[in-house]
Structure 1
Amino acid sequence: MGVVAVIPARGGSKSVPYKNLHPLGGKPLLAWPIETALATDSIDRVIVSTDDEKIAAAAQSHGAEIHWRPPELATDTALVIDTIRHLYRQLTERGTADDIMVLLEATAPFRTPELVGRCIDRMVAENLDSIATFNEASVNPERTWRLVDDMPVPFIEGAVPWKPRQLLTPAYQLNGAVYAFRPHLLPSDSPSILFGRMGAEVIPADELVDIDHQKDFIIADAILRSRTGA
């Protein structure tokens, strides 16, 4: 059973220009998922999907193959799943498609090879079509509100926002660290990467940092320094 890691990395980031090449811990952000994928025993190959020459050069220097995506799949509004479909079609046409794809976005640099491996192992052992990583929701839905004519109303009808934490219904959120799926079963008309027989790998929220803005790099660097004692 072949497993390929796919890392989307377009060049047009606006929150942080060239975010995928921004340094974190002495190496570009893009290097983190590549190195994690290469260190995961069950992954056979690593592909970076990009539209940018600089990102392609950095990806290759760290050991990844390159998938060139067309301009329409590199816009702010383009969906990752459409890039995945484009890549899978190309791999299928070349006869090099794998049984399982693992999506590793560069914005979650602190995932580990062990975590990636667990997701792949569960797919095989439990005969899953897809699996993703989750953590406990930062705000329980029972404590959220909406405004109706400027008046606050519980977002979930009948919910009691003041209920003790221990009595709240457990809620979880996707964190984007790992998605693994069988690409030949990808739905053709849905934006979801979770489909079919799905699994959830629940991890502590403090194990991850989601990189989106410049302040997130500052937080990530501080975490790295605390881990190394630098």
Structure 2
Amino acid sequence: MSLFGERRVAAIIPARGGSTSVPRKNIRPLGEKPLVAWSIEVAQAVEAIDQAVVSTDDEAIAEAARQYGGAVAQRPADLATDDALVIDAVRYHLRGWHEEGRSVGVVVLLEPTCPLRRPKDVRACLRRLAEEEIDSVATFTDAALNPHRAWRMENGRPRSFVENAVPWRPRQELPEAYQLNGGAYAFFADRLPEDSIAPLFGRTGAVYMPEERSVDIDTEMDLQLANLLVEEGLAGG
């Protein structure tokens, strides 16, 4: 029995061609395969997901997606710019599928830039979505910088970012802090607000992922780190 009954579950993998920080990022090699392939293979390994769909404006990315068994959904150029929101591309595809008579009930959003996630991370998100009274769920990891140690500058003078914070306190005494890692989002498609700018909305849930599976590839150094973790077998089980 499916987690979601008759609802179709689609994994959407947003992979536009115009990356500036890491040119051609989504087809750059990580290990022995292009970056986008890692998300496709994770989606294929999760039993509850009916189809993995790569949303792209780029033919080279589309070809790489097909090579690894992913379906391809073309998105228009205006939804593939630096300023475009991923959630707007998701809405575009959901509307198109609905008009074609193959509506999606649950969306799993897998960003290629967090390639070291595991199927178990995605399964945990889907279990929470299916079993709890929530609308959306996302993966988190430990914050790279605790907000109590962050600063703002006002006219060249440092001020604590969190009012009355004491950044000198030992790490163990600071409140726990987490950040989204882009590993996975899952949500009910018909509950996505039209004005939402994010895939985490309504009643929300969280799934924790460790640091070694949460590398976010935004720079060349991030890509080198991810390759090192893969080569050394340190990406976590």
Same topology, TM > 0.5: yes
C-alpha displacement at 1:200, in angstroms? 0.7
Match of 1:101 in 2: 107
Match of 2:177 in 1: 171
Correspondence for 1:211 among 210, 217, 234:
217
Alignment size in residue pairs: 228
Query: 2 CA distance for matches of 1:11 and 1:136?
Result: 30
Query: 2 CA distance for matches of 1:118 and 1:150?
Result: 45
Match of 1:81 in 2: 87
Match of 1:32 in 2: 38
1:127 is the counterpart of 2:133: yes
Match of 1:63 in 2: 69
C-alpha displacement at 1:206, in angstroms? 2.3
Identify unmatched segments of 5+ residues in structure 1: none
Match of 2:142 in 1: 136
Letter in 1 for 2:55: S
C-alpha displacement at 1:167, in angstroms? 2.2
Match of 2:4 in 1: none
Query: 2 CA distance for matches of 1:141 and 1:213?
Result: 23
Match of 2:3 in 1: none
Structure 1, 32-41 or 13-22: larger mean CA deviation? 13-22
Structure 1, 165-174 or 125-134: larger mean CA deviation? 165-174
CA contact (8 A) 2:141 2:214 kept: no
Q: 4+ runs of 1 displaced by more than 3 Å?
A: none
Summarize deviations over 1:55-78 as a string: whole Å, max 9, x none.
111111111111110110011111
Correspondence for 2:120 among 91, 107, 114:
114
Q: TM-score, normalised by structure 1?
A: 0.95
Instruction: Provide the alpha-carbon RMSD of the alignment.
Output: 1.2
Give the SS at the match of 1:227: coil
Correspondence for 1:156 among 154, 158, 162:
162
Matches within 5 A, 1:4-43: 4-43=10-49
C-alpha displacement at 1:190, in angstroms? 2.4
Match of 2:53 in 1: 47
Query: 2 CA distance for matches of 1:21 and 1:166?
Result: 40
Query: 1 CA distance for matches of 2:11 and 2:29?
Result: 22
Query: 2 CA distance for matches of 1:193 and 1:207?
Result: 20
Give the SS at the match of 2:55: strand
1:195 is the counterpart of 2:201: yes
Query: 2 CA distance for matches of 1:52 and 1:127?
Result: 38
CA contact (8 A) 2:73 2:93 kept: yes
